[in-house]
């Protein structure tokens, strides 16, 4: 069974940086893509970005140029480097493993079989 554990969340001032990590296990052939999502209070969960195991990445328009997704050499760990953080980035951040990922409009999405982590809170103060 796929298990995902996020870490690295915390509180930071506007303009600061944080690096989130997602360590996964139990990956199968149905988990070709890893993505990051976030959900702010009272809002729907939205895509932040994704990375395929082969390295292809995609980002939501709201984070392009500020956030970077990368993976460890063993490809069981995915990172979300967040720079120039804004108060509107405040949310619970979730890691997901899925069959596929894609960009549409100004956001990113997961498709097929999707597994979720428990989330890590990011709070950005002005």
Strands 120-125 and 91-104, bridge-based pairing: antiparallel
Percent of all residues in the chain with a pLDDT value above 70, rounded to a whole number? 100
3-class state of residue 87 by DSSP: helix
Q: What is the pLDDT of residues 59-80, one digit of tens each?
A: 999 999 999 999 998 778 999 9
Contact 123, 13 (CB under 8 A): no
The answer to whether the CB of 26 falls within 8 A of the CB of 117 is no
**pLDDT tens by residue, 79-120:** 999 999 999 999 999 999 999 999 999 999 999 999 999 999
Mean pLDDT score of the chain: 95
Tell me how many degrees the CA angle 121-79-52 measures, rounded to the nearest 5. 120
Gap between the Cα atoms of 46 and 68, Å rounded = 16
Residues in the chain, overall count: 126
pLDDT band at 19 (very low <50, low <70, confident <90, very high): very high
Please report, rounded to a whole number, the percentage of residues in the chain having pLDDT higher than 90.
90
């Amino acid at each position: 069974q796929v298990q995902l554990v996020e870490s690295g969340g915390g509180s930071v001032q506007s303009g600061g940086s944080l690096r989130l990590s997602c360590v996964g296990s139990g990956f199968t052939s149905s988990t070709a893509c890893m993505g990051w999502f976030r959900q702010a209070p009272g809002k729907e969960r939205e895509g932040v970005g994704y990375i395929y195991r082969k390295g292809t990445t995609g980002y939501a328009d709201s984070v392009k140029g500020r956030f970077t997704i990368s993976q460890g050499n063993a490809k069981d760990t995915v990172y979300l480097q967040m720079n120039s953080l804004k108060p509107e980035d405040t949310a619970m951040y979730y890691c997901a493993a899925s069959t596929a990922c894609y960009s549409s409009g100004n956001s990113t999405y997961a498709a097929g079989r999707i597994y979720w982590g428990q989330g890590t809170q990011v709070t950005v103060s002005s």
